[in-house]
Amino acid sequence: MTLRSPSTTSPTTTKAAKKPPACDACKARRVLCHPQPNGLPCPRCVEKGVICKTSYVPRGRPRKYSRQTSTISVESQSASGSSDTSLVVYRPMIEPAISVELSGELVKDLYECFTNSPQSQNPLFQMCALKGALSSAAWDIDLLPPEARVLAHCVCALGSTVSFHSAIIGAGPQPESFTDYSVFYPGADLRRYGARRAPAVRALHERAINLACDVRIHLEVSNHNAASCFVLDSLEERKPGSRPWAVAYISHIRVLAESRNEDSTKATWSGYLMADALAAISQRKPILVTYNDQLLIAGLEPPSLENMFESLRATIQTSKKHPSQWAWTVIRPFLFHVIRLCREFYDKISGAYARRHPIAEGAAIAFISDLSIMQSTLSMLFAQVDFESQPSPAYVNGSVRSCALGMTVGYLGLVLALYREMEHRATARAILQCGLHESSATRHDRMALLRHQTYCLAADALAHLVRTAQVVPTLTHILNAKWLNLAGWAEFCLAEADAAGGLAPGRAGAFERIMHMLKLHGYAQDGAQVSALIERMEAHLFAYGAQTLFPTTSGLSEWSLTLDNSWMGMFPEDLGYGHHI
Give, rounded to a whole angstrom, the gap between the first and last alpha carbons of the chain. Answer: 113
**Do residues 513 and 422 both lie within one domain?**
no
Same domain, 426 and 483: no
26: how many CB neighbours lie within 10 A of its CB?
21
**229 and 173 part of one domain:** yes
Phi first, then psi: give them for residue 75, nearest 5 degrees.
Answer: -65, -35
Q: Residue 488 domain-assigned?
A: yes
Residue 172 DSSP SS3: coil
- Nearest Cα residue to 577 out of 266, 254, 274: 266
Question: Which of 472, 500, 528 lies at the terminal end of a domain, its last residue?
Answer: 472
Rounded to whole angstroms, the Cα distance separating 115 from 147 reads 19
d(CA 274, CA 272): 5
Q: How far is CA 327 from CA 344, 372, 376, 399, in A?
A: 25, 17, 13, 8
pLDDT at 60: 55
How would you label 200-228 residue by residue, b for 16+ Cβ within 10 Å and e otherwise?
Answer: bbbbbbebbbebbeebebbeeebbbbbbb
Compute and round to an integer the Cα radius of gyration of the chain.
29
The DSSP output letter for 206 is H
Please give the Cα distance from 232 to 211 (Å, whole number): 12
Structural domain total, the chain: 4
Length of the chain: 581
Q: Would 136 be classed as within a structural domain?
A: yes
385/491 same-domain check = no
257: Cβ contacts below 8 Å, ≥ 6 apart: 293, 296, 297
Are residues 407 and 283 located together in one domain of the fold? yes
What CA–CA distance (Å, rounded) separates 121 from 77? Answer: 50
**Is residue 517 within 8 Å of residue 469, measured between CB atoms?**
yes
Residues 440, 528 within the same domain: no
- Same structural domain for residues 131 and 161? yes
Tell me the torsion sign for CA atoms 240, 244, 249, 255.
positive
DSSP state letters, 242-309: --HHHHHHHHHHHHHHTT---GGGHHHHHHHHHHHHHHHHHTT------HHHIIIII-S----HHHHH
Please check whether residues 414 and 507 belong to one and the same domain.
no
Identify whether residues 403 and 319 lie together within a single domain. yes
d(CA 521, CA 137): 34
Euclidean distance between CA atoms 160 and 172, whole angstroms = 17
252 located within any domain: no
Residue 417 lies in a domain: yes
* Secondary structure class of 8 (helix, strand, coil): helix
pTM of the complete model beyond 0.95: no
- Looking at residue 385, its pLDDT comes to 83
Residue 34: CATH number of its domain: 4.10.240
Range of the domain at 363: 268-472
Q: How far apart are CA 123 and CA 573, in angstroms?
A: 12
Please give the average pLDDT of every successive group of 10 residues along the chain, which has 581 residues. 48 61 81 83 82 69 47 39 35 56 94 91 93 93 94 96 93 88 86 93 96 95 97 84 93 92 83 94 94 92 94 92 90 96 97 91 96 96 80 76 91 97 81 50 85 95 85 71 83 94 88 90 86 93 73 40 38 40 38
Surface-to-core class of residue 88, CB atoms within 10 Å of its CB (0-12 exposed, 13-18 middle, 19+ buried): exposed
Q: Does 144 lie in the same domain as 41?
A: no
Handedness of CA 512, 517, 521, 527 (dihedral sign): negative
Residues 304 and 392 in one domain: yes
- Report the distance separating Cα 239 and Cα 423, nearest Å: 19
Q: Are residues 440 and 344 in the same domain?
A: yes
